[in-house]
Structure 1
Amino acid sequence: MTFDSGQILDVTGPLEVLSHASRFLPAVRYRSQVVTKRGGQVVASCGLEFTSSPISEVTGRVDTLILAGGAGIDAAVADTELLAQIRRLAADARRVTSVCSGAFLLGAAGLLDGRRATTHWADCGRLADTYADVTVDPDAIYVHDGNVWTSAGVTAGIDLTLALVADDHGRQAAATVARQLVVYLQRSGGQAQFSALLAGQAADTAPVLDLLSWLRDHLTDDLSVAALARQINLSERQFTRVFKAEVGATAADHVEAVRLDSACRLLETTNRTIEQIARTCGFGTPETMNRAFRRRLNTTPGDHRHHFRGDNSVHSHQG
């Protein structure tokens, strides 16, 4: 379900996942329908015009209701007739979901009361303020609470819908769809909306940007404050001040986060042992890496691998 000035990727991202699942998975057939309040032509926020059906004409049980977000969300939330239609369809739906600010439609319809939810990071504060009965998780890619699924901004709708496919047909099925879409099946609901690498892109000056790029390829080097300061010819005091101002974190915190990002990717995509990954990412020992995983992700390297791989291909020191 969408509306005028909706975010087009909130609509097309989930649609492509379901379409690819129907094309490439044996005996899987998702049938999708794009609806708006009145149907007919609708114009997305990017200017793309497309056709929709009236939501009032949807009869029978809807299996999965997906509510898109976008620039026109406030007008949609204020539309009592639209909210009534959403409540009607949600009453019999197996699951109800939202992408990005579509969570505000769920909230306005009373479908998030007493639940955990998320939305785009920039709107999490407003969602929490607007709907006091909702526990908002500002970091999650998506949140699954009962039969209600909510997701973060824009591309997180793809992550969410891959998770729905996995819920329906298993992780291997979702992995097949992800490969066809050339996206990673690696972002779980519990992963942060911002990775360390994305956070580092906020840096303004060439020396810091160059340092961040260099750092990713030198995770086993000495990455102490003193060593990093020497790398860009600053005193430790100057470096500490500049780095925190541009990156928004201390150097030590950022280094650990980048090492953790790298470890997660290797756990998800390779059969390297825990010991090998700990050394490759600069943690040194599995114990050190295990502590970082527990502190930052509330899990262990072994559990992380099992969650994403769903296999037991590597058993050595799983943490």
Structure 2
Amino acid sequence: MTARTHSVGVLAFDGLKMLDLTGPAEVFSEANRYGADYRLTVVSIGGKPVSSSIGMRVPVDADVADAPAFDTLLVVGGDRLPEAPVEPELTAATADLAARSGRVAAICTGAFLLGAAGLLDGRRATTHWQHTALLARRHPRARVEPDALFVRDGTTYTSAGVTAGIDLALALLEEDHGPDLTRRVARSLVVYMQRPGGQSQFSPSLQGPAPRTPVLRLVQDAVQADPTGEHSLDTLAAAVRVSPRHLTRMFRAELGTTPMKYVELLRFDIAKALLDSGHNATEAAARAGFPSYESLRRAFARHLGISPTKYQHRFATTGTGSRTPAPPR
């Protein structure tokens, strides 16, 4: 049986993130080897070639104005998108293409293009964890989910950092052709068939920049220095000489969370680091300040959607870079 042709358009612009384009494109290209029929068309304003994040020129197939209707529109990201308002011409191109497409999928900071075009209003969305707070501020009518790898709201999809674009492409592939073909593509590309869309982006609290407010940095330093210590709201507030209410306001204003949720996330990240270094889950729970393994398990369920043991088996490094990982099953 011949598969129905599925047209995929990619909106390209100067400064696009190369992997945002090539990652999903490889998924669809590989799917064609197993019976799918995806046809990729790269479009830009004026139909001109564009420059990528790595300096390579990207050839373009068509002008946005002449592009056909697409079954799927991919809106890639770029480092410049969070830094300044999107120019009106690119916003209009996004809106025009989206209106003529069956479904729209933004990769990483491509969500800022959807937001500028009004396509996230009233919708759930995500982007790279470094920019989720900015996306929420810039587009307050969107419901930004800061931890998700990718989010579907109707026919609109958004994804986290660049490799999450591959997860999203696999999810789109599974919608079109089911799990068997998707599994074959994932194994061929040596990636996990699909990390769940709601799975948390990893370690935002430890990998991200330190809080700007000195009081919040003191709280962060105190918890990281002694994760098993007494870190109740009252204790933390007393340590930094502010009221519990004022401390809570500062956390909400800068970090969009509460002190206690932040303490849990710090401990959670510490536990993940311990698991990565080879400690078992019980040891990781105790050293990270969790009262029991069960409380750590609940934290992993909330933040990653998997157990500590599954996390360790799936994501921890082997410690020998020369080993070839087994293909996913």
Corresponding residue number in structure 2 for 1:57: 66
Corresponding residue number in structure 2 for 1:12: 22
Corresponding residue number in structure 2 for 1:77: 86
Deviation string, structure 1 residues 211-243 (Cα, Å, up to 9, x no partner) = xxxxxxxxxxxxx969xxxxxxxxxxxxxxxxx
Cα distance change, pair 89–291 in 1 and its aligned pair in 2 (3 A): same
SS at the partner of 1:32? strand
Mapping of 1:182-261 within 5 angstroms?
A: 182-195=190-203, 199=206, 253-254=268-269, 256-257=271-272
Q: 1:33 aligns with which of 41, 46, 53?
A: 41
Deviation string, structure 1 residues 56-77 (Cα, Å, up to 9, x no partner) = 1112x31111101113436782
Q: Supply the distance in 1 between the matched residues of 2:276 and 2:169 (Cα, whole angstroms).
A: 23
| Higher mean C-alpha displacement, 117-126 vs 185-194 | 185-194
SS at the partner of 2:104? strand
Q: Supply the distance in 1 between the matched residues of 2:67 and 2:24 (Cα, whole angstroms).
A: 19
2:268–2:300 CA contact under 8 A, matched in 1: no
2:170–2:182 CA contact under 8 A, matched in 1: yes
Corresponding residue number in structure 2 for 1:111: 119
Deviation string, structure 1 residues 264-297 (Cα, Å, up to 9, x no partner) = xxxxxxxxxxxxxxxx7549xxxx7676444442
2:130–2:208 CA contact under 8 A, matched in 1: no
| Higher mean C-alpha displacement, 40-49 vs 111-120 | 40-49
Unaligned residue ranges in structure 2 (runs of 5+): 1-10, 210-226, 230-262, 284-291, 315-329
Corresponding residue number in structure 2 for 1:297: 301
The Cα RMSD (Å) is 3.7
State the shift of 1:39 in Å. 1.6
Q: 1:124 aligns with which of 132, 137, 141?
A: 132
1:39–1:51 CA contact under 8 A, matched in 2: no
Corresponding residue number in structure 2 for 1:45: 53
Cα distance change, pair 162–290 in 1 and its aligned pair in 2 (3 A): farther
Q: Supply the distance in 2 between the matched residues of 1:249 and 1:131 (Cα, whole angstroms).
A: 28
State the shift of 1:4 in Å. 0.4
Unaligned residue ranges in structure 1 (runs of 5+): 203-223, 227-247, 263-279, 309-319
Deviation string, structure 1 residues 157-192 (Cα, Å, up to 9, x no partner) = 111111111121222322211111112224211111
| Higher mean C-alpha displacement, 175-184 vs 68-77 | 68-77
State the shift of 1:153 in Å. 1.5
Q: Give yes or no for the alignment of 1:98 onto 2:102.
A: no
Q: Supply the distance in 2 between the matched residues of 1:297 and 1:162 (Cα, whole angstroms).
A: 23
SS at the partner of 2:133? helix
Paired amino acid for 2:19:
L
Q: Give yes or no for the alignment of 1:153 onto 2:181.
A: no
Paired amino acid for 1:297:
A
TM-score if structure 1 supplies the norm length?
0.64
1:290–1:300 CA contact under 8 A, matched in 2: no
1:3–1:72 CA contact under 8 A, matched in 2: no
TM-score if structure 2 supplies the norm length?
0.63
Corresponding residue number in structure 2 for 1:178: 186
Q: Supply the distance in 1 between the matched residues of 2:121 and 2:54 (Cα, whole angstroms).
A: 32
Cα distance change, pair 290–186 in 1 and its aligned pair in 2 (3 A): farther
2:268–2:296 CA contact under 8 A, matched in 1: no
Cα distance change, pair 187–258 in 1 and its aligned pair in 2 (3 A): farther
State the shift of 1:84 in Å. 2.5
* Percent of aligned pairs sharing the same letter: 42
Q: Supply the distance in 2 between the matched residues of 1:250 and 1:30 (Cα, whole angstroms).
A: 41
| Higher mean C-alpha displacement, 181-190 vs 93-102 | 181-190
Q: Supply the distance in 2 between the matched residues of 1:259 and 1:7 (Cα, whole angstroms).
A: 32
Paired amino acid for 1:96:
V
Corresponding residue number in structure 2 for 1:135: 143
Q: Give yes or no for the alignment of 1:167 onto 2:167.
A: no
Paired amino acid for 2:17:
Q
